[in-house]
Amino acid sequence: GESVGLHLPTLSVQEGDNSIINCAYSNSASDYFIWYKQESGKGPQFIIDIRSNMDKRQGQRVTVLLNKTVKHLSLQIAATQPGDSAVYFCAETRDDKIIFGKGTRLHILP
Amino acid sequence: DGGITQSPKYLFRKEGQNVTLSCEQNLNHDAMYWYRQDPGQGLRLIYYSQIVNDFQKGDIAEGYSVSREKKESFPLTVTSAQKNPTAFYLCASRPSSGPYEQYFGPGTRLTVT
């Protein structure tokens, strides 16, 4: 069936390096994609979004890239900090619902 | 402060009992959502409501019920028919128009023994 999923369940990154979290989606009709950050025991927080008519969008220290040809979405975090340690979810919109992927845990190495 | 509140943060119940989880928002959002999250898993949609007195089933509605009598409130009842009720429950809301960004509450961790 159609789904939003992630390539890696856990990503370990050295503090100060850049992090890249990937996401594959299968619904070519989705027109809006979102990245969320969830810290332990808390609700998800919006990070950045991108419409399907764009291929790149930048925020503060974060960049989202969308490749519609291969149905791939990525979140890049520059100069990763200890506070970036969390689970990151990509999500797509479908019929007024937001469908979440399983998530990637980002672990920061000192 | 504007936001979404869920109470309580931790809830314990005996098997066979119904339990209602509270979700309130003062953001004037039309749409509200309930998700379930199991350990190490993503969020699965239980129910959602786009307007007062109307709601739709999500992907895993069996064993749950909701009501939307007021714009600010969207309580979720976990019934005894729900086979595996122990989970982290998250409520969210968003405006009916504009960006799809959802605002999440802090969650309620329900443990049923």
Average pLDDT, chain A: 88
- The CA–CA distances, whole Å, from B88 to A7, A43, A58, B94, B105 equal 24, 10, 31, 20, 12
Question: Letter for the amino acid at B48?
Answer: Y
The confidence score (pLDDT) of residue B1 equals 53
Comparing A28 with A86, the larger pLDDT belongs to A86
List pLDDT tens digits, range B67-110.
999 999 999 999 998 989 999 999 999 887 766 778 899 999 99
CA B13 vs. chain centroid, Å, equals: 17
Q: Which residues of chain A have a CB within 8 Å of the CB of B102? A: 44, 46, 98
The verdict on B58 touching A (C-beta cutoff 8 Å) is yes
Q: Taking CB atoms and an 8 Å limit, are A43 and B42 in contact across chains? A: no
Bridge pairing between strands A62-67 and A72-77: antiparallel
Write the secondary structure of B24-62 as one string of H (helix), E (strand) and C (coil): EECCCCCEEEEEEECCCCCEEEEEEEEECCEEEECCCCC
Is A63's pLDDT higher than 90? yes
Q: Taking CB atoms and an 8 Å limit, are A44 and B104 in contact across chains? A: yes
SS3 content of chain A, % helix, strand, coil (to 5): 5, 55, 40
The confidence score (pLDDT) of residue B107 equals 95
Cβ–Cβ under 8 Å, residues B68 and B76: no
Q: What are phi and psi of A75, to 5 degrees?
A: -120, 125
Mean pLDDT of A33-58: 93
Which pLDDT band holds residue B42 (cuts at 50, 70, 90)?
confident
Q: Taking CB atoms and an 8 Å limit, are B107 and A89 in contact across chains? A: no
Q: Taking CB atoms and an 8 Å limit, are B105 and A43 in contact across chains? A: yes
Q: Which residues of chain A have a CB within 8 Å of the CB of B100? A: 32, 34, 49, 93, 98
Q: Which residues of chain A have a CB within 8 Å of the CB of B42? A: 89, 100-103
The confidence score (pLDDT) of residue A2 equals 37
Q: Determine the residue among B32, B34, B43, B108 to mutate to test chain A binding: the one whose Cβ has the most chain A Cβ atoms within 10 Å.
A: B43
Q: Which residues contact A94 (CB under 8 A, 6 or more apart)?
A: A27, A29, A30
Average pLDDT, chain B: 92
